[in-house]
Structure 1
Amino acid sequence: MKFYMPRPWDETIADIETAGHEHVGLEEAEVYINTDPRPDRIPEMPANIQWVQHCYTGVNQLIDAGVITADGLPWCNAAGAFAEPVAESALGLMLSAAHHHKAFAQAATWDVARELDNSQAWLYAQGRPREVAIVGAGGIGKRLAELLRPFDVNLTEVTRTGPVTLNDVQWEQFDFVVSILPLTPATEGFFNAEIFAAMKDSAVFVNVGRGATVVTEHLVAALREGQIAAAGLEVVDPEPLPDGHPLYQLPNCVMTPHMAASKQVATFHVGKIFNANAAAWEAGEAMPTRVDVAAGY
């Protein structure tokens, strides 16, 4: 197929061209590859564009702005593209939060060694396997499960359709809770005061899904009051997090600035998603990552 990418990503274009597709100008293209997540920066599509490939997974802001509609041009997101980098980020946050890396850096003194040692958590079994919930166990969750195998944890995968759903989770049983939830009307603000209160006070909460699935002020309170032990956050609400926000200061909150699937990473992964969608389109089949507006992703 003929495709147009307004901001060329060399690695992505090379992967797509290897599959036999052609990078052309907008007026000749059949597919528009969108590299900008901001709705106000996305142009009206000319009549020659048959569908759009978005370079990121989250599309809720594009749906809310009316850029993606149920009866409009088909859009595909990059679901599944970032399993490897985001799973690695999640594992890093789990370990960093559990082992008090930020708390020691902030303390800047060896005097806290005994206190931190007494309260740090471990992923490997000490007397019993650790209980880990992966909430939103799609491609990223499956890769994270593979990375966790050497730690011999007990894994519970929580998905929309089961066998364990959000309504079934017994939060008090888990040592680590990793959220990879998409942002939809059903998941917005899901992790709130009630959920945090139900968790173990030794639990580590990690979010690599969407920031707005968490009520931020409730998380701050849970960390301050010891309802949970620690948090590791790749995503937050709002983004960017304002300077001076309490999460920056909390010693039991480790953060990264939503960089596990940034452009620097995405450029190596979007090509295979485009190629799969293009192959399906040409065969008259359902495209694997076509956005379902009703579902929100």
Structure 2
Amino acid sequence: MAVLPDADPAFVRAVAVGGGRVAPLSSATRGLVWTSSSGEDGLEAVLAAHPSISWVQLPWAGVDAFDGLLRRHRGDGRQWTSAKGAYAQPVAEHALALALAVLREFPRRAQATSWDVDERGRSLYGSDVVIVGAGGIAVELLRLLEPFRVRATVVRRADAAVPGAERTVTTDRLVDVLGTAEIVFVVAALTEETRGLIGSAELAALPPGAVLVNVARGGLVDTDALLAALESGRLGGAGLDVTDPEPLPPGHPLWNAPNCLVTPHVADTEAMTVPLFASRIAHNVAAFVDGSAFEGCIDLDAGY
């Protein structure tokens, strides 16, 4: 097996734990752990030169950075896995932190230089919550929300219930369930179908004062529509770990939008992701070696 382009010692050890052996690329290479979130061309070149590779492990939960490559390799017979679900705990934790901060108006209060008791701020307890997406982050977020006794609705592509949610609906009913949502968490995968999923119509469907939290991908939310909703005062606030564009440039209006808290895509930092990705590698190497079930299998047709 090969670990490229960065053979971090933690990932090399994980291959050994799973029962594999790391060696330079050759005609004997059967598995590839790709450790870069970019470099699609480099990965393409490796696969073209080594058709013997039958399993590829990608490093992140989202695979939109490899969208073109995955489309080109549909039907090539390879097994593709990602880290989806591996980073669910830290990302869900960050989503909860953003929601609490925005509900309590921390973006404004953190910059205050005088004692201004304005009685603004809301509680999460007993809120109507909509979670857009039903993957590992959504499942973990539902667990974290249990003590707050929220009424949670999950919006997903498949027509199947999600444990912990009061109700689950399909994406075509998104606008229908936003009418009572006090907080919307966006945790879905970014695909051609989901780009711009939250736009003007969806934001207009929310009750006044609702809060939006996005820890998935910036492209899921229409930035211009989000800005307009924040600046009008109709949207009560936003917590964003991801933006469109990303990185968010200095001077962009989102930095100073009312009650908007932006963090620079740090819901899962390297200190968190390295051991979690190493665990995913070890599991999937073992699955590759003994023929058991992989974790994080990518549906090349669905795009995640």
* Structure 1 length-normalised TM: 0.89
Q: Give the alignment partner of residue 151 of structure 1, picking from 144, 148, 152.
A: 148
Letter in 2 for 1:236: T
- Provide Cα deviations, 1:49-78, integer angstroms capped at 9, x if missing partner: 222111112212312256752033432111
Q: Which whole-Å CA distance do the structure 2 matches of 1:110 and 1:11 have between them?
A: 49
> In the alignment, is the contact (CA less than 8 A) between 1:190 and 1:213 conserved in 2?
yes
What SS class does the counterpart of residue 190 from structure 1 fall into? Answer: coil
What SS class does the counterpart of residue 254 from structure 1 fall into? Answer: strand
Q: Which whole-Å CA distance do the structure 1 matches of 2:256 and 2:123 have between them?
A: 23
Change (3 A) 1:75 1:231: same
- Provide Cα deviations, 1:20-51, integer angstroms capped at 9, x if missing partner: 22222223532221111222443422234222
Q: Which whole-Å CA distance do the structure 2 matches of 1:247 and 1:202 have between them?
A: 17
What's the CA shift for 1:285?
Answer: 5.9
- Please tell me whether residue 103 in structure 1 is matched to residue 112 in structure 2: no
Letter in 2 for 1:151: F
Aligned residue pairs, count:
288
- Provide Cα deviations, 1:114-146, integer angstroms capped at 9, x if missing partner: 1xx23x12112xxxx211111102111111111
Q: Which whole-Å CA distance do the structure 2 matches of 1:65 and 1:254 have between them?
A: 34
What SS class does the counterpart of residue 173 from structure 1 fall into? Answer: coil
> In the alignment, is the contact (CA less than 8 A) between 2:16 and 2:282 conserved in 1?
no
Q: Give the alignment partner of residue 74 of structure 1, picking from 76, 79, 100.
A: 79
> In the alignment, is the contact (CA less than 8 A) between 1:68 and 1:293 conserved in 2?
no
Letter in 1 for 2:105: H
Aligned runs of 1:89-238 on 2, under 5 Å?
Answer: 89-111=94-116, 113-114=117-118, 117-118=119-120, 120-124=121-125, 129-162=126-159, 163-169=168-174, 170-238=177-245
Letter in 1 for 2:46: E
Letter in 2 for 1:106: Q
What SS class does the counterpart of residue 299 from structure 2 fall into? Answer: coil
> In the alignment, is the contact (CA less than 8 A) between 2:57 and 2:81 conserved in 1?
yes
- Provide Cα deviations, 1:247-269, integer angstroms capped at 9, x if missing partner: 11124111111112344322111
Of residues 230-239 and 35-44 in structure 1, the stretch that sits farther from structure 2 once superposed is 35-44
What's the CA shift for 1:160?
Answer: 1.4
Counterpart in 2 of 1:44? 46
Q: Which whole-Å CA distance do the structure 2 matches of 1:22 and 1:50 have between them?
A: 15
Counterpart in 2 of 1:32? 32
What SS class does the counterpart of residue 131 from structure 2 fall into? Answer: strand
Letter in 1 for 2:32: Y
Q: Which whole-Å CA distance do the structure 2 matches of 1:262 and 1:105 have between them?
A: 23
Q: Which whole-Å CA distance do the structure 2 matches of 1:237 and 1:41 have between them?
A: 25
> In the alignment, is the contact (CA less than 8 A) between 1:106 and 1:251 conserved in 2?
no
Of residues 282-291 and 263-272 in structure 1, the stretch that sits farther from structure 2 once superposed is 282-291
Q: Tell me, which stretches of 5 or more residues in structure 2 are unaligned?
A: 160-167
Q: Tell me, which stretches of 5 or more residues in structure 1 are unaligned?
A: none
Q: Give the alignment partner of residue 55 of structure 1, picking from 44, 53, 59.
A: 59
Q: Give the alignment partner of residue 262 of structure 2, picking from 251, 255, 262.
A: 255
What SS class does the counterpart of residue 23 from structure 1 fall into? Answer: coil
* Structure 2 length-normalised TM: 0.87
What SS class does the counterpart of residue 111 from structure 2 fall into? Answer: helix
Q: Which whole-Å CA distance do the structure 2 matches of 1:68 and 1:56 have between them?
A: 19
Q: Which whole-Å CA distance do the structure 1 matches of 2:111 and 2:41 have between them?
A: 39
Alpha carbon RMSD of aligned pairs, Å? 2.1
What SS class does the counterpart of residue 168 from structure 1 fall into? Answer: helix
Of residues 51-60 and 160-169 in structure 1, the stretch that sits farther from structure 2 once superposed is 160-169
> In the alignment, is the contact (CA less than 8 A) between 1:30 and 1:48 conserved in 2?
yes
Fraction of identical pairs, as percent: 35
Q: Which whole-Å CA distance do the structure 2 matches of 1:68 and 1:259 have between them?
A: 30
